[in-house]
Structure 1
Amino acid sequence: MLEEEYQPRRQLPRALRKPEPPEAPFAFSIRPAVETDLPGIREIYNHYVANSTVTFDEDRMTLREWRAKFHKAEKLDMPFLVAESPTGHLLGYTLVMPWQAKSAYRFTVENSIYLGPGSTGKGLGKALLAALIDACREAGIREIIAIIADKGADASIHLHETFGFKEVGRMGKVGFKFDRWLGTVMMQKSIKKKPRVKRA
C-alpha cells in the first residue's frame, strides 16, 4: 500500500460541496384502524410499556389481546383511528373504550393516544386527538376521560389542555413501575352535539 492511501481524504470547502437533499416533509393521513394495523399498533404500544411510565402496563400486549380490543371497539362502535405515512408506515394511533362497564356510563369513554418514537413533536398528536374528538361526537359520545401518569407525561397533559380537557382529580401513588411510585391525573372533556343546520 502506498503511504498516501493512509492519508484522510480531503473534503471540498463547504461552498463547493453539493447541497444536502432536503429532508422530506413529515406527512400523514388519518383513517379508521383495520385489523392489519394491529401488529404496528402493538409495536408502538409495547415500546411505551418497556420504556416509559406513560402506561402502567408492565407486560407487553400480545397480538391476541390487541385483536380482542379491536373487535370490542368495533362491536361497540367506538372510534379507533391510526395515522400512517404516505408509504403506509404506521405513525401512531388513538382510540376510546368504555369508561366503565355499567350501562349508565354508555356515553362516557376513556381515550388513549400513542405515537411512534420518531413521530413525536411534529403535530401528529394534535391531529389525532382532533380527529378522535370529531369521531366521538359523530358516535354520540358526550364525555371523554383521560387518565394520565403524573410523572413523565407532561406533553400529554398539555395536549389535552389544548383541546379543552380540564383536570378533575388526582390520585397519588396508585401505580408502581420501574421501582417508583406513580400517580394519575384525571382530565375530562364534554362534547357538544353538532348544531343542526336549518334549511331555508
Structure 2
Amino acid sequence: MTVKIRTAQKADLPQLLSIYAPYVTRSTATFDELVPTLTDFTQQFQQIRRSYPYLVAENDQDQLLGYCYAHAYNSRFAYQWSVETTIYIVDSAQGQHVGQALYTALEQKLKTQNIVNIFACITAENAKYR
C-alpha cells in the first residue's frame, strides 16, 4: 500500500473526527470522556495549525488512513523547543506502517521549527478497546 502524507485541511475534519471518535468511546487513549463536536474539533485544529504541523495519511484512493500533529508540551518558556505528539490511525490501516510514515514526516517538519524534544503521552491500557 502506498501512503501519501500531506498537510491536513479544514475539509478533512469530519473524516478525522470519525477516526478519532472510536478512540474516545472504546479506549482510554485520548483522555477524553466524550467525542468532541465538529465545532470544538475544528477550533482545536485551527489553534494547533497556527504553530505546529498537522498531517494526514491517505492511500492511493485518497482515503484518509490516519492523522498526527504536534502541540505545545508546556507553556513555560523553557519548553518552547518541546512538543507533545498525537496520532490516530483507522483500524483497517493498523500494522501497515502508516504511523511510521506519519511520524517520520512530522519529525522532519518539527526539525525545521528547531524542535529538539518530542514527547508522547501514552496510556498503559492492555486492551485495544474497552
Superposed pair shares fold, TM > 0.5 = yes
2:122: which partner in 1?
A: 148
1:54-85 deviation per Cα after TM superposition (whole angstroms, max 9, x unaligned): 22211002111121112112222x01100012
Mapped contact 1:30–1:84 kept (Cα < 8 A): yes
C-alpha displacement at 1:138, in angstroms?
A: 1.2
2:69: which partner in 1?
A: 95
Q: Which has the higher contact order (CA 8 A, sep 6+)?
A: 2
Mapped contact 2:4–2:59 kept (Cα < 8 A): yes
Tell me the SS of whatever aligns to 1:148. coil
Greater C-alpha radius of gyration: 1
TM-score of the superposed pair, with normalisation by structure 2 = 0.91
Following TM superposition, where does structure 1 have runs of at least 4 consecutive aligned residues deviating by more than 6 angstroms? none
* 2:7 corresponds to which of 21, 24, 32: 32
Mapped contact 1:54–1:152 kept (Cα < 8 A): no
Letter in 1 for 2:55: L
Letter in 2 for 1:32: T
Letter in 2 for 1:60: V
Letter in 2 for 1:27: T
Q: Indicate the RMSD between aligned Cα atoms, in angstroms.
A: 1.7
Query: Number of aligned pairs?
Result: 129
TM-score of the superposed pair, with normalisation by structure 1 = 0.61
Mapped contact 1:54–1:153 kept (Cα < 8 A): no
Gaps of 5+ in 2: none
- Residues 118-129 of structure 1: matches in 2 within 5 Å? 118-129=92-103
Q: Distance in 2 between matches of 1:153 and 1:128?
A: 23
Gaps of 5+ in 1: 1-25, 155-177, 179-200
Tell me if 1:113 matches 2:87: yes
1:65: which partner in 2?
A: 40
Summarize the Cα distance change of 1:50–1:71 in structure 2 as closer, same or farther, 3 Å threshold.
same
* 2:23 corresponds to which of 48, 51, 60: 48
Structure with greater strand percent: 1
